């Protein structure tokens, strides 16, 4: 392999020798002021690519490696100092603070127009530097060609209190990262046809020449792509696209500017009609793999969502840290090359929720910065801000804002409420919840209504529902209305029907069908959900519905006073426990309706119900979650 290092740095030359025994050095001079990127990480990567491309003009057949190292204090880039005064100012700014050393990397071959980029990042914390320490170092006269005005190998422990990451990266060339990326770049490429998507994720699914599964992030069914294998995942190979040889008519232009990095909508690059075909096909294959072909035969055509964007009535956004600054957004997508945990991607918009995000976020972030609040880190217990939950009724427009913290007191929240109301006049409820538990979920441990009322109201299936901060309510109002309408039709309800709803939540299904049944009883393990369901029944004047708190396993163990005609189960994603399934089946209801958000747990539970004497007469998928791999399914069984 002909390797060219596009750098004049003697330090990089020494470190490169640990990567490859033979390589050429070709110093490049590029105008970094032409780099428009302001983010330090993106700046370093773009600058590295510029260097690699410039050297590749002279060596078009070689693998050219470009590198650029920057020191970042927050979002401020500290490059090479112009003079001693500039260097002095940089070292003073770094004194006693943590900064990032980022090396952008680029691997480029001009003849094939192939480019692979990456980066390495190290956190460095300086001690408090005295003027004598600073001047003593500057007297050495070696600072002019150093990003941030220092070289770690020269200042050592005298300046550095802590270093988290690769030491070589701080020197200017992360040897191990370069070795891994070079191996990826040199790996043989081959062409595959994308057949499907690898549920539950969004990777394109293909087969290599040996018949092994190949997962290709970002690829769309119907495409032919040139790929390189970069990792293994069980029996599958993970590959990255080198070149798109023929695009698919199923590819779509993502509407969200955060698509790809965000861990939310994974299917926005796929045409919606194709999304529906893929989800319906995934459901059928999952049922076929259960070993009962009759189940797949019962699948009905998928029902699309009435709305493709702005359909979600609830979003849980997370606080975190991004480049040393407070971030508010969604968790980053985990990929083969970026195995992240809890990293928050700042977002300024969320098309699947609605435009109110663009008005609320700036107000909350400004409030947080004014008070010096940071994102909460469960592992350390440090930080104050956990989540921002937005709930907006799609039929009434009423907005609820929930600020979840690890404890910030109440000072200033009344003022924040006023600022939020000015930015979003549709806000009816502003709630503060607090918990210091080490989980990464919203905990309603301590709840205080800061402004407005403790609920918002939504309309569904002719009913009005009050939604509280912890209430379970289907996130796609219009789609849920279609599902509940089909449920009422296929459950064979009559004015004499006795219906038992298990895992009833706030009673949306039970109350939506109460007008067609004789008596409806809902069961849920959450007392808050039961209280909410009772209130919703009273609000709508429904007198033939009762709601009972308790677990399904415990309540169904008790003898029933009267038989049940229809059982409705809407369990969590994991499905029914073995005991709950057996006891639900033992009720002997002529009709059992199963509402599921997980094809795998649905297939498992349907097998158990069929073994208990039921027959699946209809399995109807509903797309309540456009642009995501998720699917809601309505299964109707009879005996």
Q: What is the 3-state secondary structure (H, E, C) of 448-513?
A: EEEEECCCEEEEECCEEEEECCCCCCCCEHHHHHHHHHHHHHHCCCCCCCEEEEECCCCCHHHHHH
Options 262, 265, 350, 597, the catalytic residue: 597
In this prediction, residues 554-583 reach a mean pLDDT of 94
**Residue 597 annotated in active site:** yes
pLDDT (0 to 100) of residue 110: 94
Note if the pTM is more than 0.75. yes
Count, residues in the chain: 639
pLDDT at residue 340 tops 50 = no
| Strand bridging mode 63-73 / 3-6 | parallel
Q: CA-CA distance, 317 to 242, in Å (whole number)?
A: 34
In the block, which residue shows the tokens 């609920």? 455
Per-residue burial over 412-448, b = 16 or more CB atoms within 10 Å of its CB, e = otherwise: ebeebbeebbebbeebbbbbbbbbeeeeeebbeeebe
pLDDT (0 to 100) of residue 252: 94
pLDDT tier, 593 (very low <50, low <70, confident <90, very high otherwise): very high
Q: CA-CA distance, 451 to 401, in Å (whole number)?
A: 10
Provide the 10 A C-beta neighbour count for residue 366.
Answer: 12
Q: CA-CA distance, 283 to 459, in Å (whole number)?
A: 30
Is 501 exposed, middle or buried, given 0-12, 13-18 or 19+ CB atoms closer than 10 A? buried
pLDDT tens track for 59-112: 999 999 999 999 998 878 898 899 999 999 999 999 999 999 999 999 999 998
Asked whether this chain's domains 189-251 and 314-460 adopt the same fold, the reply is yes
Asked if 574 contacts 506 with a C-beta cutoff of 8 angstroms, the reply is no
Closest listed residue to residue 59, CA positions, set 8, 108, 117:
108
| Strand bridging mode 189-193 / 224-233 | antiparallel
Using CA atoms in the order 498, 500, 505, 508, what is the torsion angle rounded to 10 degrees? -30
Record the tokens describing residue 161, joined without a space: 């209190």
Closest listed residue to residue 48, CA positions, set 3, 103, 1:
103
According to CATH, the topology of domain 3-186 is Maf protein (3.90.950)
In Å, how far from its chain's centre is CA 115?
27
pLDDT at residue 334 tops 80 = no
Residue with the bigger pLDDT between 501 and 331: it is 501
pLDDT tens track for 22-63: 999 999 878 877 887 878 888 999 999 999 999 999 999 999
* Nearest-10 crossing angle of helices 413-423, 357-371: 150
Record the tokens describing residue 338, joined without a space: 């970026």
CATH for 294-305+470-638 (1.10.3720.10, 1.10.1450.10, 3.30.1490.100, 3.40.50.150): 3.40.50.150
Give the neighbor-by-neighbor strand order of the sheet with 314-322.
Answer: 344-346, 325-331, 314-322, 385-392, 399-405, 427-434, 446-452
pLDDT tens track for 253-267: 999 999 988 888 999
Closest listed residue to residue 107, CA positions, set 169, 50, 179, 49:
49
Q: CA-CA distance, 215 to 632, in Å (whole number)?
A: 25
Among left, alpha and beta (phi > 0; psi -120 to 50; other), residue 230 is alpha
Q: CA-CA distance, 444 to 315, in Å (whole number)?
A: 16
Residue with the bigger pLDDT between 188 and 511: it is 511
CA angle 573, 313, 330 (to 5 degrees): 75
Q: CA-CA distance, 229 to 373, in Å (whole number)?
A: 43
pLDDT (0 to 100) of residue 129: 95
Residues with Cβ < 8 Å from 468, sequence gap 6 or more?
A: 454, 455, 528, 532
> Average pLDDT over the chain, rounded to whole?
92
What residue ranges do the domains of the chain occupy? 3-186, 189-251, 294-305+470-638, 314-460
Among left, alpha and beta (phi > 0; psi -120 to 50; other), residue 381 is left
CATH for 314-460 (3.40.50.12640, 2.40.50.1070, 3.90.950.10, 2.60.40.10): 2.40.50.1070
Provide the 10 A C-beta neighbour count for residue 374.
Answer: 16
Identify any residues that bridge with 458 across adjacent strands, giving them in sequence order.
Answer: 465
When mean pLDDT is compared across 200-214, 469-483, 579-593, the lowest value belongs to: 200-214
pLDDT at residue 339 tops 50 = no
CATH of domain 189-251: 2.40.50.140
pLDDT at residue 341 tops 80 = no
For the chain, what percent of residues have pLDDT higher than 90? 77
pLDDT tier, 337 (very low <50, low <70, confident <90, very high otherwise): very low
């Amino acid at each position: 392999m002909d390797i060219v290092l596009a750098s004049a740095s003697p330090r990089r030359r020494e470190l490169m020798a640990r990567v490859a025994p033979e390589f050429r050095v070709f110093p490049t001079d590029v105008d970094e002021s032409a780099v428009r990127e302001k983010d330090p990480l993106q700046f370093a990567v773009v600058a590295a690519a510029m260097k690699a491309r410039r050297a590749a003009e002279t060596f078009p057949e070689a693998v050219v490696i470009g590198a650029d190292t920057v020191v970042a204090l927050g979002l401020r880039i500290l490059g090479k100092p112009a003079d001693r005064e500039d260097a002095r100012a940089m070292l003073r700014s770094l004194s006693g603070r943590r900064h990032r050393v980022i090396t952008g990397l680029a691997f480029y071959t001009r003849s094939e127009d192939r480019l692979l980029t990456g980066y390495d990042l190290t956190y460095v914390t300086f001690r408090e530097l005295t003027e004598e320490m600073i001047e003593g170092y500057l007297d050495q006269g070696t600072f002019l060609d150093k990003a941030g005005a220092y070289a770690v190998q020269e200042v050592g422990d005298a300046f550095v209190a802590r270093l988290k990451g690769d030491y070589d990266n701080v020197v200017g060339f992360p040897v191990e990262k370069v070795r891994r990326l070079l191996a990826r770049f040199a790996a043989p490429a081959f062409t595959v046809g994308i057949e499907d998507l690898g549920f539950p994720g969004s990777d394109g699914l293909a087969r290599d020449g040996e018949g092994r599964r190949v997962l290709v992030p970002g690829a769309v069914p119907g495409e032919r792509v040139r790929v390189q294998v970069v990792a293994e995942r069980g029996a599958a190979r993970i590959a990255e696209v080198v070149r798109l040889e023929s695009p698919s008519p199923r590819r779509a232009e993502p509407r969200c500017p955060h698509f790809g990095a965000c861990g939310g909508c994974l299917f926005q690059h796929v045409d919606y009609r194709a999304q529906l075909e893929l989800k319906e096909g995934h459901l059928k294959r999952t049922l076929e793999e259960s070993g009962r072909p009759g189940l797949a035969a019962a699948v009905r055509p998928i029902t699309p969502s009435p709305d493709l964007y702005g359909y979600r009535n609830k979003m849980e956004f997370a606080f975190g840290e991004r480049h040393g600054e407070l971030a508010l957004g969604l968790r980053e997508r985990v990929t083969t090359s970026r195995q992240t945990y809890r990293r928050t991607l700042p977002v300024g918009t969320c098309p699947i929720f609605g435009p109110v995000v663009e008005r609320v976020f700036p107000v909350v972030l400004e409030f947080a910065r004014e008070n010096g609040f940071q994102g909460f880190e469960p592992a350390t217990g440090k930080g104050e801000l956990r989540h921002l939950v937005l709930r907006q009724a799609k039929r009434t427009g009423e907005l609820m804002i929930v600020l979840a913290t690890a404890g910030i007191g109440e000072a200033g929240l009344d003022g924040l409420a006023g600022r939020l109301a000015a930015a979003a006049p549709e806000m009816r409820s502003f709630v503060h919840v607090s918990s210091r538990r080490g989980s990464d979920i919203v905990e309603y441990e301590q709840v205080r209504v800061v402004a407005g009322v403790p609920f918002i109201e939504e309309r569904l299936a002719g009913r009005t529902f009050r939604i509280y901060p912890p209430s379970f309510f289907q996130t796609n109002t219009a789609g849920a209305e279609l599902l509940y309408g089909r449920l009422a039709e296929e459950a064979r309800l009559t004015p004499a029907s006795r219906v038992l709803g298990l895992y009833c939540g706030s009673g949306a299904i039970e109350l939506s069908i109460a007008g067609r049944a004789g008596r409806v009883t809902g069961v849920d393990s959450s007392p808050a959900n039961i209280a909410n369901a009772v209130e919703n029944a009273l609000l709508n004047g429904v007198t033939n519905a009762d709601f009972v708190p308790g677990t399904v396993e415990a309540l169904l163990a008790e003898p029933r006073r009267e038989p049940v005609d229809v059982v409705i189960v809407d369990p969590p994603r994991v499905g029914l426990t073995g005991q709950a399934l057996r006891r639900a089946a033992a009720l002997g209801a002529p009709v059992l309706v199963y509402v599921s958000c997980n094809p795998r747990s649905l297939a498992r539970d349907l097998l158990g119900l069929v073994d208990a004497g039921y027959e699946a007469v209809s399995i109807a998928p509903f797309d309540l979650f456009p642009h995501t791999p998720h699917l809601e399914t309505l299964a109707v069984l009879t005996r």
